[in-house]
Structure 1
Amino acid sequence: MKIRNRLVALSVAVMAAAALGTVSATQAQAALDPSNSLGINFDADTTTVIAKTGQPVVFPQTRLVTRTDLSTLEGTLNLPQAAAKLKLGPATLANFKISIINASQVTGTLTQGGTADATTIDLDVSQTFQIRLDSVQPFNISTGSASLNLVPNNGSCITAPTTARLKGSLDAFKLLGQDVPEADAHIKGTYTIPPFQNCGPFAGVLNAIIAGPNNSLDVHVTNPEFIVGDQAAARAKFVR
């Protein structure tokens, strides 16, 4: 059967799965059966905005790797280290590098949304992680041979775990009903930055500027790729 027909059939399966309603959190976190689920990967461009300063932090592009049975979703999103300028109003205070560490799986649900003429696949997902400050270098200040770093170099400046819950919608036809699948969606939400610990004498200042609630997170997903090969049998289960 042609790929296009497979994808159209999958679109129908999404609608049928959505009719069953939202699954429980326990079900959403359970490992999906590889023989009855599909792998779909996306390019992911991720940006967070620190609420206290309005400072955007742009992470290098990575891959969002997912598996779904068209009702639940699980996946991985491992963000590379990001560098940005720490600003307070118009003033640049420092250059800093930040890492997302100990990230959990991305887990959540898929449901049908939109209208009959413009069906969407709505995602409601979450991920738990910790945040590490790798370096904070005051602007235009150096010690001569090396730039001054306000946090320890041993990677100890870390928050407690925090969880981001993100929601967004994919165009069902563009993703599932074309020979070449397409996606252009923003999966968005907010999270709290807990206080940083083990950061040395400047911990109080850094927490006053950075830590707090209502930080935004935006994962822009594009270039979907369906996993084939081992998943051919799983795809066939949805094609009747």
Structure 2
Amino acid sequence: MSVKLRLSTVMASVTGAAACLAAAPAMAEEPPALTLNYTCAFPLIGMQPLVVRISSNLPAQLKVGEKTPAIEIITQDTVSAYAAKGLTTMYTATLSGNASAGAQIVQPNGKVLNLTVPNKIDPVTLPATGAFDVTSKGGAPAIAFTSAGEGKVTVGDMLLTMTPKDKDGALTGLGTFESECSQDPGQNNVLATIKVGDVPAPVRSYTATGSAVIKAGGPGTLPLTGGFEAKADGTTLTGPLKLNPGTASLKAFGFLPLSAAVALATDGDTTGTLAGGGLTTSGKASLTVTSISALGVPIGGGETCRTTAPVDLSLSAPVFDPATGGTLAGAFTLPALANCGLFGGLVGSLFQGPGNTLSLTLKAS
């Protein structure tokens, strides 16, 4: 007798004391599969070998505490012509019953849980001669692994409970019988291993181009370039927004042109929230005036000439697609500058104050 068993959707884990086999959307291209040899005890024909093929859509990875969807288990058994002849000899016309498969869940923390997965066998009409197929269906509720590491699912023995009936729907002389199926020793019975842990958020890369307008400097304009490397986790984009140093064009006293080498550097990560089709970001920055000149004559600045407090950069884009990007804009206030040289007061007056604006276009790369 040859039987093929396919567990089409199975997943295993534990929440508290409750556990069972469960399945989640497959994360690997090739689902786990396993072939095992069994020996089963059948009425009249005695001990018979079974070759069992088991496949599943067990995921390769899950988050800690992530629930699986409610699952469906399907077994497909092909009963050999020899076994079918034994059944028809006892006037069997139809066959129904249940199939139970043993399983073992090894959690990442080493705890072992033994389970039984019940399936209901659909009634089947036996052919006059030859082999026939038997299909059974079962299910399990959603569950989740509660610790990180590697989980393991192994397959154990099986029990078939069969009810043969004659052409009039009455029980045959076999009655309802059980067939115990034991795995042959020395086999690898691991169906799948599952990595349990936090799934890293995908990283999105954007180029950044735009400008800042410095109100106190005439107003002055600071061209900006840079990039944004952000982890995309659900409705958030979080990562470093890096802006390259640039040259600002300013005016003193409303008419004297000045040129300043300026670095607007962000401090730590910029956090963005996606909502309503747009993006709102928040972050901190500092402004450094490394040099400033009037008509080519240096008048101040330096590596220590910077804002005395963090600059709050809050920007928003009414339309933003994480896959392509969008344009962020917002206003900001520049705190006082310190350590800017002999003409530090003049330098500070060209930057300090509210009403500054920034526009930055992020383009996915």
1:186–1:219 Cα contact (<8 Å) kept? yes
Which of 67, 75, 82 pairs up with 2:239?
Answer: 75
Q: Give 1:214's aligned residue.
A: 355
Q: Give 2:283's aligned residue.
A: 127
2:338–2:348 Cα contact (<8 Å) kept? no
Separation in 2, partners of 1:158, 1:140: 21
The answer to whether the aligner puts 1:157 opposite 2:305 as a matched pair is yes
1:85–1:92 Cα contact (<8 Å) kept? no
Larger % of helix: which?
1
Separation in 1, partners of 2:198, 2:313: 26
Larger Rg: 2
Q: Give 2:207's aligned residue.
A: 43
Per the normalisation by structure 1, the TM-score is 0.63
Between the two proteins, what is the percent identity of the paired residues?
Answer: 22
Q: Which residue identity is paired with 1:216?
A: T
The answer to whether the aligner puts 1:57 opposite 2:57 as a matched pair is no
Q: Give 1:87's aligned residue.
A: 251
1:67–1:74 Cα contact (<8 Å) kept? yes
For the residue of structure 2 that corresponds to 1:200, the secondary structure is coil
Which of 239, 248, 264 pairs up with 1:100?
Answer: 264
1:78–1:103 Cα contact (<8 Å) kept? no
Aligned residues: 167
Separation in 1, partners of 2:300, 2:351: 14
Q: Which residue identity is paired with 1:218?
A: S
1:103–1:34 distance in 2 versus 1, CA, 3 Å:
farther
Show CA shifts across 1:39-81 (max 9, x none).
211111031101222211102x322111121222211111111
Separation in 1, partners of 2:273, 2:222: 27
Separation in 2, partners of 1:110, 1:129: 22
Runs of 4+ in 1 over 3 A off after TM superposition: 169-172
1:171–1:129 distance in 2 versus 1, CA, 3 Å:
closer
Task: Structure 1: give runs of 5+ residues left out of the alignment.
Answer: 1-32, 114-119, 142-147, 177-181, 226-240
1:91–1:62 distance in 2 versus 1, CA, 3 Å:
same
Which of 309, 312, 315 pairs up with 1:166?
Answer: 315
Task: Structure 2: give runs of 5+ residues left out of the alignment.
Answer: 1-196
1:40–1:66 Cα contact (<8 Å) kept? yes
1:150–1:89 distance in 2 versus 1, CA, 3 Å:
closer
Q: Give 1:205's aligned residue.
A: 346
1:76–1:34 distance in 2 versus 1, CA, 3 Å:
farther
Relative contact order, higher structure (CA 8 A, sep 6+):
1
Show CA shifts across 1:118-140 (max 9, x none).
xx2x1111110111100011114
Q: After TM superposition, give the deviation of residue 34 of structure 1 in Å.
A: 6.8
Show CA shifts across 1:78-105 (max 9, x none).
1111012212486343211001235221
Q: Which residue identity is paired with 1:221?
A: L
Separation in 2, partners of 1:206, 1:71: 41
Separation in 2, partners of 1:200, 1:171: 42
Separation in 1, partners of 2:314, 2:332: 7
Per the normalisation by structure 2, the TM-score is 0.42
